[in-house]
A and B are shown apart, each in its own frame.
Chain A
Amino acid sequence: MRSFKAYFKKEILESVRGNKYLILFVGTIFWALLDPLVLKLLPLLLKNYLPADLTVLFSTFNRDTAFQTFLKDLFQIGTIIIALTLMGLLSNEVSLKKLVFPYSRGANPAGVVLAKYIHYTVTISLFILIAFLTNYFYINRLFTGGMLSIEIALKSSLLYILYYSVLLSILLCLSSLFKRGLIAGITVLVLGYTLSIFNQFKVVRAYLPNYLLFKAADIGHIFDNSLIPTVIISFCIIILLIFFSILRMKKIDVA
Protein backbone atom coordinates (compact mmCIF):
# COMPACT_ATOMS: atom_id res chain seq x y z
CA MET A 1 0.00 0.00 0.00
CA ARG A 2 2.90 2.36 0.81
CA SER A 3 4.49 1.75 -2.58
CA PHE A 4 1.11 2.03 -4.25
CA LYS A 5 0.47 5.48 -2.80
CA ALA A 6 4.00 6.67 -3.50
CA TYR A 7 3.86 5.55 -7.10
CA PHE A 8 0.34 6.80 -7.68
CA LYS A 9 1.44 10.29 -6.68
CA LYS A 10 4.60 9.92 -8.72
CA GLU A 11 2.61 9.00 -11.84
CA ILE A 12 0.41 12.04 -11.40
CA LEU A 13 3.44 14.31 -11.10
CA GLU A 14 5.09 12.63 -14.07
CA SER A 15 1.98 12.97 -16.23
CA VAL A 16 1.64 16.65 -15.38
CA ARG A 17 5.30 17.55 -15.88
CA GLY A 18 5.74 15.27 -18.90
CA ASN A 19 2.53 16.57 -20.54
CA LYS A 20 1.10 13.05 -20.68
CA TYR A 21 -2.35 14.23 -19.63
CA LEU A 22 -2.30 16.77 -22.43
CA ILE A 23 -1.31 14.20 -25.03
CA LEU A 24 -3.93 11.69 -23.89
CA PHE A 25 -6.50 14.47 -23.76
CA VAL A 26 -5.79 15.43 -27.33
CA GLY A 27 -5.76 11.76 -28.32
CA THR A 28 -9.30 11.22 -27.08
CA ILE A 29 -11.32 14.36 -26.55
CA PHE A 30 -9.94 16.28 -29.49
CA TRP A 31 -11.51 13.76 -31.89
CA ALA A 32 -14.82 14.01 -30.13
CA LEU A 33 -14.85 17.69 -31.03
CA LEU A 34 -13.27 17.56 -34.42
CA ASP A 35 -15.09 14.63 -35.99
CA PRO A 36 -18.64 16.01 -36.02
CA LEU A 37 -17.36 19.35 -37.24
CA VAL A 38 -15.44 17.82 -40.11
CA LEU A 39 -18.37 15.64 -41.10
CA LYS A 40 -20.63 18.66 -41.12
CA LEU A 41 -18.31 21.13 -42.79
CA LEU A 42 -16.51 18.98 -45.33
CA PRO A 43 -19.53 18.42 -47.59
CA LEU A 44 -20.29 22.13 -47.46
CA LEU A 45 -16.74 23.07 -48.37
CA LEU A 46 -16.42 20.48 -51.10
CA LYS A 47 -19.89 20.91 -52.53
CA ASN A 48 -18.69 22.59 -55.69
CA TYR A 49 -15.85 20.21 -56.33
CA LEU A 50 -17.48 16.86 -55.82
CA PRO A 51 -19.64 14.95 -58.24
CA ALA A 52 -23.25 15.01 -57.19
CA ASP A 53 -23.49 11.36 -56.13
CA LEU A 54 -20.66 11.83 -53.62
CA THR A 55 -22.33 14.83 -52.03
CA VAL A 56 -25.32 12.65 -51.45
CA LEU A 57 -23.09 10.20 -49.62
CA PHE A 58 -21.93 12.91 -47.23
CA SER A 59 -25.30 14.37 -46.58
CA THR A 60 -26.67 11.00 -45.52
CA PHE A 61 -24.91 11.30 -42.16
CA ASN A 62 -27.34 11.22 -39.32
CA ARG A 63 -26.59 11.24 -35.59
CA ASP A 64 -25.98 7.48 -35.51
CA THR A 65 -23.52 7.33 -38.37
CA ALA A 66 -21.72 10.44 -37.10
CA PHE A 67 -21.33 8.71 -33.73
CA GLN A 68 -20.01 5.56 -35.40
CA THR A 69 -17.45 7.59 -37.33
CA PHE A 70 -16.22 9.04 -34.07
CA LEU A 71 -15.90 5.55 -32.57
CA LYS A 72 -13.81 4.39 -35.50
CA ASP A 73 -11.50 7.41 -35.37
CA LEU A 74 -11.12 7.18 -31.63
CA PHE A 75 -10.07 3.56 -31.94
CA GLN A 76 -7.64 4.16 -34.79
CA ILE A 77 -5.95 7.27 -33.48
CA GLY A 78 -6.56 6.89 -29.78
CA THR A 79 -4.90 3.49 -29.78
CA ILE A 80 -1.77 4.84 -31.45
CA ILE A 81 -1.52 7.71 -29.02
CA ILE A 82 -2.12 5.60 -25.94
CA ALA A 83 0.28 2.87 -27.04
CA LEU A 84 3.07 5.28 -27.91
CA THR A 85 2.66 7.47 -24.83
CA LEU A 86 2.53 4.64 -22.34
CA MET A 87 4.77 2.02 -23.93
CA GLY A 88 7.65 2.78 -21.56
CA LEU A 89 5.51 2.37 -18.47
CA LEU A 90 7.72 -0.29 -16.91
CA SER A 91 10.52 -0.77 -19.42
CA ASN A 92 11.81 2.77 -18.98
CA GLU A 93 11.86 2.42 -15.23
CA VAL A 94 14.01 -0.68 -15.53
CA SER A 95 16.31 0.28 -18.38
CA LEU A 96 16.98 3.77 -17.04
CA LYS A 97 17.66 2.28 -13.60
CA LYS A 98 15.04 4.47 -11.97
CA LEU A 99 14.02 1.64 -9.65
CA VAL A 100 17.39 1.32 -7.92
CA PHE A 101 16.52 3.67 -5.06
CA PRO A 102 12.88 2.65 -4.61
CA TYR A 103 13.74 -1.08 -4.66
CA SER A 104 16.73 -0.62 -2.41
CA ARG A 105 14.41 1.05 0.09
CA GLY A 106 11.94 -1.80 0.00
CA ALA A 107 9.41 -0.77 -2.66
CA ASN A 108 6.82 -3.46 -3.29
CA PRO A 109 6.63 -4.42 -7.00
CA ALA A 110 2.92 -5.19 -6.69
CA GLY A 111 2.30 -1.65 -5.45
CA VAL A 112 4.33 -0.16 -8.28
CA VAL A 113 2.54 -2.14 -11.00
CA LEU A 114 -0.94 -1.61 -9.59
CA ALA A 115 -0.39 2.11 -9.08
CA LYS A 116 0.64 2.51 -12.70
CA TYR A 117 -2.18 0.39 -14.06
CA ILE A 118 -4.90 1.97 -11.98
CA HIS A 119 -3.66 5.51 -12.52
CA TYR A 120 -3.65 5.26 -16.29
CA THR A 121 -6.84 3.21 -16.48
CA VAL A 122 -8.68 5.79 -14.43
CA THR A 123 -7.19 8.63 -16.47
CA ILE A 124 -8.08 7.08 -19.82
CA SER A 125 -11.53 6.02 -18.63
CA LEU A 126 -12.24 9.54 -17.52
CA PHE A 127 -11.07 11.01 -20.81
CA ILE A 128 -13.11 8.47 -22.77
CA LEU A 129 -16.22 9.29 -20.77
CA ILE A 130 -15.73 13.01 -21.33
CA ALA A 131 -15.01 12.40 -25.00
CA PHE A 132 -18.21 10.40 -25.48
CA LEU A 133 -20.33 12.98 -23.72
CA THR A 134 -18.78 15.84 -25.66
CA ASN A 135 -19.24 13.99 -28.88
CA TYR A 136 -22.87 13.23 -28.04
CA PHE A 137 -23.50 16.88 -27.29
CA TYR A 138 -21.95 18.07 -30.55
CA ILE A 139 -23.69 15.48 -32.68
CA ASN A 140 -27.02 16.52 -31.24
CA ARG A 141 -26.29 20.09 -32.26
CA LEU A 142 -25.09 19.36 -35.74
CA PHE A 143 -27.01 16.35 -36.97
CA THR A 144 -30.53 15.04 -36.96
CA GLY A 145 -32.10 11.63 -37.34
CA GLY A 146 -31.03 8.30 -35.91
CA MET A 147 -31.80 6.87 -32.51
CA LEU A 148 -28.70 7.97 -30.55
CA SER A 149 -29.45 8.82 -26.92
CA ILE A 150 -27.37 9.67 -23.89
CA GLU A 151 -27.99 6.18 -22.58
CA ILE A 152 -26.58 4.65 -25.74
CA ALA A 153 -23.56 6.93 -25.66
CA LEU A 154 -22.84 5.97 -22.04
CA LYS A 155 -23.25 2.26 -22.66
CA SER A 156 -20.99 2.50 -25.65
CA SER A 157 -18.39 4.41 -23.63
CA LEU A 158 -18.39 1.66 -21.00
CA LEU A 159 -17.41 -0.88 -23.60
CA TYR A 160 -14.64 1.39 -24.84
CA ILE A 161 -13.39 1.83 -21.30
CA LEU A 162 -13.29 -1.92 -20.80
CA TYR A 163 -11.52 -2.36 -24.11
CA TYR A 164 -8.81 0.16 -23.25
CA SER A 165 -8.42 -1.41 -19.80
CA VAL A 166 -7.58 -4.66 -21.54
CA LEU A 167 -5.24 -2.93 -23.97
CA LEU A 168 -3.48 -1.19 -21.09
CA SER A 169 -2.92 -4.46 -19.27
CA ILE A 170 -1.39 -5.93 -22.42
CA LEU A 171 0.81 -2.86 -22.77
CA LEU A 172 1.88 -3.05 -19.13
CA CYS A 173 2.77 -6.70 -19.40
CA LEU A 174 4.74 -6.30 -22.64
CA SER A 175 6.48 -3.28 -21.15
CA SER A 176 7.69 -5.42 -18.26
CA LEU A 177 8.93 -8.07 -20.68
CA PHE A 178 10.91 -6.01 -23.15
CA LYS A 179 13.82 -3.71 -22.43
CA ARG A 180 12.62 -1.33 -25.15
CA GLY A 181 9.25 0.26 -24.81
CA LEU A 182 8.88 0.66 -28.57
CA ILE A 183 8.59 -3.10 -29.02
CA ALA A 184 5.75 -3.18 -26.51
CA GLY A 185 4.04 -0.21 -28.16
CA ILE A 186 4.18 -1.61 -31.68
CA THR A 187 3.11 -5.09 -30.57
CA VAL A 188 0.05 -3.62 -28.90
CA LEU A 189 -0.81 -1.63 -32.04
CA VAL A 190 -0.48 -4.62 -34.33
CA LEU A 191 -2.49 -6.74 -31.91
CA GLY A 192 -5.22 -4.11 -31.55
CA TYR A 193 -5.67 -3.64 -35.29
CA THR A 194 -5.40 -7.28 -36.35
CA LEU A 195 -7.82 -8.56 -33.72
CA SER A 196 -10.44 -6.25 -35.18
CA ILE A 197 -10.37 -8.34 -38.34
CA PHE A 198 -11.95 -11.20 -36.38
CA ASN A 199 -15.08 -9.12 -35.87
CA GLN A 200 -16.13 -10.42 -39.30
CA PHE A 201 -16.28 -13.99 -38.03
CA LYS A 202 -19.37 -14.65 -36.00
CA VAL A 203 -18.04 -17.84 -34.40
CA VAL A 204 -14.99 -16.42 -32.70
CA ARG A 205 -15.54 -12.71 -32.31
CA ALA A 206 -17.31 -12.87 -28.96
CA TYR A 207 -14.20 -14.41 -27.43
CA LEU A 208 -11.88 -11.56 -28.34
CA PRO A 209 -11.74 -8.15 -26.67
CA ASN A 210 -12.17 -6.30 -29.97
CA TYR A 211 -15.77 -7.48 -30.02
CA LEU A 212 -16.34 -4.80 -27.39
CA LEU A 213 -15.64 -2.18 -30.06
CA PHE A 214 -17.94 -3.91 -32.48
CA LYS A 215 -20.80 -3.91 -29.99
CA ALA A 216 -20.11 -0.33 -28.94
CA ALA A 217 -21.00 0.73 -32.48
CA ASP A 218 -24.04 -1.53 -32.63
CA ILE A 219 -26.48 1.22 -31.74
CA GLY A 220 -29.77 -0.17 -30.52
CA HIS A 221 -28.39 -3.47 -29.21
CA ILE A 222 -25.21 -2.45 -27.42
CA PHE A 223 -25.73 -4.59 -24.34
CA ASP A 224 -26.92 -8.07 -25.20
CA ASN A 225 -26.11 -11.61 -24.16
CA SER A 226 -23.48 -12.05 -26.84
CA LEU A 227 -21.24 -9.77 -24.76
CA ILE A 228 -21.12 -12.05 -21.72
CA PRO A 229 -18.16 -14.19 -22.83
CA THR A 230 -16.32 -11.10 -24.07
CA VAL A 231 -16.66 -9.29 -20.76
CA ILE A 232 -15.63 -12.35 -18.74
CA ILE A 233 -12.63 -12.95 -20.98
CA SER A 234 -11.64 -9.29 -20.81
CA PHE A 235 -11.55 -9.31 -17.03
CA CYS A 236 -9.62 -12.57 -17.04
CA ILE A 237 -7.03 -11.10 -19.39
CA ILE A 238 -6.63 -8.02 -17.20
CA ILE A 239 -6.19 -9.98 -13.98
CA LEU A 240 -3.86 -12.50 -15.54
CA LEU A 241 -1.62 -9.95 -17.23
CA ILE A 242 -1.36 -7.73 -14.18
CA PHE A 243 -0.50 -10.73 -12.07
CA PHE A 244 2.15 -11.70 -14.60
CA SER A 245 3.58 -8.15 -14.67
CA ILE A 246 3.89 -8.15 -10.89
CA LEU A 247 5.70 -11.49 -10.93
CA ARG A 248 8.01 -10.22 -13.61
CA MET A 249 8.77 -7.01 -11.71
CA LYS A 250 9.56 -9.07 -8.63
CA LYS A 251 12.09 -11.18 -10.50
CA ILE A 252 13.68 -8.57 -12.72
CA ASP A 253 17.19 -7.15 -12.17
CA VAL A 254 16.79 -3.42 -11.63
CA ALA A 255 20.49 -2.48 -11.48
Chain B
Amino acid sequence: MTDRGKWHERLKVTLWTLIVPPILWAGHFLFSYLWAAISCAKAGAFMTFPIVFVAGTLLALALIGLSGWIAWRQGGTPGSSAPHEDGTDIDRLRFIAKSTLLLAGLSFVGVLFTVLPVIFLRDCM
Protein backbone atom coordinates (compact mmCIF):
# COMPACT_ATOMS: atom_id res chain seq x y z
CA MET B 1 0.00 0.00 0.00
CA THR B 2 1.06 3.58 -0.53
CA ASP B 3 2.15 5.82 2.27
CA ARG B 4 -1.24 7.49 2.12
CA GLY B 5 -2.69 4.48 3.89
CA LYS B 6 -5.37 1.97 2.99
CA TRP B 7 -8.25 3.08 0.81
CA HIS B 8 -10.84 3.07 3.58
CA GLU B 9 -8.61 5.30 5.66
CA ARG B 10 -8.39 7.81 2.86
CA LEU B 11 -12.18 8.04 2.88
CA LYS B 12 -13.41 10.49 5.46
CA VAL B 13 -16.70 10.24 7.31
CA THR B 14 -18.72 13.40 6.83
CA LEU B 15 -22.32 14.41 7.22
CA TRP B 16 -22.74 13.11 3.68
CA THR B 17 -21.48 9.63 4.42
CA LEU B 18 -23.55 9.67 7.60
CA ILE B 19 -26.78 9.48 5.59
CA VAL B 20 -25.60 6.65 3.36
CA PRO B 21 -26.97 3.74 5.46
CA PRO B 22 -30.49 5.22 5.93
CA ILE B 23 -30.63 6.11 2.25
CA LEU B 24 -29.73 2.53 1.36
CA TRP B 25 -32.48 1.35 3.72
CA ALA B 26 -35.00 3.73 2.10
CA GLY B 27 -33.85 2.66 -1.36
CA HIS B 28 -34.25 -1.00 -0.47
CA PHE B 29 -37.71 -0.27 0.93
CA LEU B 30 -38.78 1.37 -2.33
CA PHE B 31 -37.15 -1.44 -4.29
CA SER B 32 -39.12 -4.04 -2.29
CA TYR B 33 -42.41 -2.29 -3.00
CA LEU B 34 -41.64 -1.92 -6.69
CA TRP B 35 -40.48 -5.52 -6.93
CA ALA B 36 -43.63 -6.86 -5.24
CA ALA B 37 -45.92 -4.61 -7.32
CA ILE B 38 -44.25 -5.54 -10.61
CA SER B 39 -44.14 -9.27 -9.76
CA CYS B 40 -47.82 -9.23 -8.84
CA ALA B 41 -48.84 -7.24 -11.91
CA LYS B 42 -46.73 -9.21 -14.41
CA ALA B 43 -46.82 -12.73 -13.00
CA GLY B 44 -49.90 -12.53 -10.79
CA ALA B 45 -47.89 -13.99 -7.95
CA PHE B 46 -44.56 -13.70 -6.22
CA MET B 47 -41.75 -15.34 -8.14
CA THR B 48 -41.01 -18.76 -6.76
CA PHE B 49 -37.34 -17.93 -7.14
CA PRO B 50 -36.95 -14.24 -6.37
CA ILE B 51 -33.37 -13.81 -7.64
CA VAL B 52 -33.74 -10.08 -8.24
CA PHE B 53 -35.11 -9.55 -4.77
CA VAL B 54 -32.43 -11.64 -3.08
CA ALA B 55 -29.68 -9.90 -5.06
CA GLY B 56 -31.05 -6.43 -4.28
CA THR B 57 -31.30 -7.28 -0.60
CA LEU B 58 -27.78 -8.74 -0.40
CA LEU B 59 -26.43 -5.67 -2.17
CA ALA B 60 -28.18 -3.31 0.26
CA LEU B 61 -26.98 -5.32 3.29
CA ALA B 62 -23.42 -5.46 1.94
CA LEU B 63 -23.26 -1.71 1.29
CA ILE B 64 -24.73 -0.91 4.70
CA GLY B 65 -22.25 -3.33 6.30
CA LEU B 66 -19.41 -1.70 4.41
CA SER B 67 -20.32 1.85 5.46
CA GLY B 68 -20.68 0.65 9.04
CA TRP B 69 -17.28 -1.01 8.91
CA ILE B 70 -15.59 2.09 7.48
CA ALA B 71 -17.19 4.21 10.18
CA TRP B 72 -16.07 1.79 12.84
CA ARG B 73 -12.46 1.85 11.60
CA GLN B 74 -12.45 5.65 11.51
CA GLY B 75 -14.07 6.08 14.89
CA GLY B 76 -11.48 3.80 16.41
CA THR B 77 -8.66 6.35 15.98
CA PRO B 78 -6.57 6.05 19.13
CA GLY B 79 -6.47 8.99 21.47
CA SER B 80 -7.88 10.22 24.72
CA SER B 81 -10.73 8.32 26.33
CA ALA B 82 -14.42 9.11 26.32
CA PRO B 83 -16.34 11.39 26.43
CA HIS B 84 -15.41 12.89 23.08
CA GLU B 85 -17.26 16.14 23.23
CA ASP B 86 -14.79 18.85 22.42
CA GLY B 87 -15.01 21.12 19.42
CA THR B 88 -11.97 19.52 17.82
CA ASP B 89 -11.65 17.86 14.43
CA ILE B 90 -10.88 14.47 15.93
CA ASP B 91 -13.88 14.55 18.29
CA ARG B 92 -16.11 15.65 15.43
CA LEU B 93 -14.82 12.74 13.35
CA ARG B 94 -15.41 10.32 16.23
CA PHE B 95 -18.92 11.63 16.73
CA ILE B 96 -19.89 11.32 13.09
CA ALA B 97 -18.24 7.89 12.82
CA LYS B 98 -20.15 6.63 15.87
CA SER B 99 -23.42 8.04 14.54
CA THR B 100 -22.83 6.43 11.16
CA LEU B 101 -22.09 3.11 12.83
CA LEU B 102 -25.33 3.27 14.84
CA LEU B 103 -27.33 4.27 11.77
CA ALA B 104 -25.77 1.39 9.84
CA GLY B 105 -26.89 -1.02 12.56
CA LEU B 106 -30.41 0.38 12.51
CA SER B 107 -30.57 0.30 8.72
CA PHE B 108 -29.27 -3.28 8.63
CA VAL B 109 -32.06 -4.41 10.97
CA GLY B 110 -34.55 -2.27 9.04
CA VAL B 111 -33.69 -4.02 5.78
CA LEU B 112 -34.00 -7.43 7.45
CA PHE B 113 -37.45 -6.49 8.82
CA THR B 114 -38.51 -5.40 5.34
CA VAL B 115 -37.43 -8.76 3.94
CA LEU B 116 -39.20 -11.00 6.46
CA PRO B 117 -42.76 -10.49 5.12
CA VAL B 118 -41.61 -11.57 1.66
CA ILE B 119 -40.28 -14.82 3.09
CA PHE B 120 -43.54 -15.52 4.91
CA LEU B 121 -46.18 -14.13 2.57
CA ARG B 122 -45.98 -15.47 -0.93
CA ASP B 123 -49.27 -13.99 -1.95
CA CYS B 124 -50.39 -10.84 -3.74
CA MET B 125 -53.61 -10.67 -1.64
Same complex:
no
- A residues neighboring B (CB under 8 Å): none
